Structure 1
Amino acid sequence: MPTTEEAARLLQISRDAYDRGDALLHLQTEVSRLTGQASSWGSAENDFVSDEHAGYFLGEVERIGWRLEHTGYTFVESGATTSARMLSTGTGVVNHGHVAGYFTFRRVV
């Protein structure tokens, strides 16, 4: 879920690499986010938000002259929130982080 500024930065990197004559381009960007808050009952209330515009962004990179060759994804945890459960033992956990997308492009010949 790159911001407008981040998408513009990545597209400029794509143009610069193409103009230099690079054979490969590797980009990384956030494609979804996991957030949440502890509830008053001590359970996890996670919220998952994904980017519906990822395909559009990748299409813009291909429009420059690149072809998407490979993708990979990983969850990057940035923390967690815990809270005691009200009516039972244990704790509720809410994880925080994002899914990073790794995209490798090859120059169109």
Structure 2
Amino acid sequence: MPTSEEATRLLQLSRDAYDRGDALLHLQAEVSRLTGQPSSWGSAENDFVSDDHVGYFLSEVERIGWRLEHTGYTFVESGATTSARMLSTGTGVVNHGHVAGYFTFRRVG
């Protein structure tokens, strides 16, 4: 989920590209995050948090003069935590990472 500083930076990139006369704009922004802690039982305690303001951010980019043409998403893993299970064999795994949204815009007019 982009911080306000990251959103400001991406909006400035959008304005600069529009002012240059670029035909296409491609932005990447974090749209959700997967985090967690190992539990005392050795199982996964994952937590998924999504950004409900992505649509607002995309609307701001369109107000500059861009139209959203294509989106894509990918999970970017940043690591995992494992812990031994207490009453069984094996380990519990907690994955960490975020979902990156890739947004391609076309210049209007």
Task: Kindly provide the CA deviation profile for residues 51-70 of structure 1, in whole angstroms up to 9, marking residues without a partner as x.
Answer: 00000000000000000000
Task: Kindly provide the CA deviation profile for residues 46-98 of structure 1, in whole angstroms up to 9, marking residues without a partner as x.
Answer: 00000000000000000000000000000000000000000000000000000
How far the C-alpha of 1:30 sits from its partner, in A, is: 0.3
CA distance in structure 1 between the partners assigned to 2:43 and 2:86 by the alignment? 9
Q: Write out aligned runs for 1:39-78 (5 A).
A: 39-78=39-78
Count of paired positions: 109
How far the C-alpha of 1:100 sits from its partner, in A, is: 0.3
Structure 1 spans left out of the alignment, 5+ residues:
none
Structure 2 spans left out of the alignment, 5+ residues:
none
Q: TM-score, normalised by structure 2?
A: 1.00
CA distance in structure 1 between the partners assigned to 2:37 and 2:5 by the alignment? 28
How far the C-alpha of 1:40 sits from its partner, in A, is: 0.2
SS of 1:47 mapped into structure 2 = strand
SS of 2:19 mapped into structure 1 = helix
CA distance in structure 1 between the partners assigned to 2:2 and 2:96 by the alignment? 17
Runs of 4+ in 1 over 4 A off after TM superposition: none
CA distance in structure 2 between the partners assigned to 1:78 and 1:84 by the alignment? 21
CA distance in structure 2 between the partners assigned to 1:82 and 1:8 by the alignment? 37
CA distance in structure 2 between the partners assigned to 1:62 and 1:56 by the alignment? 10
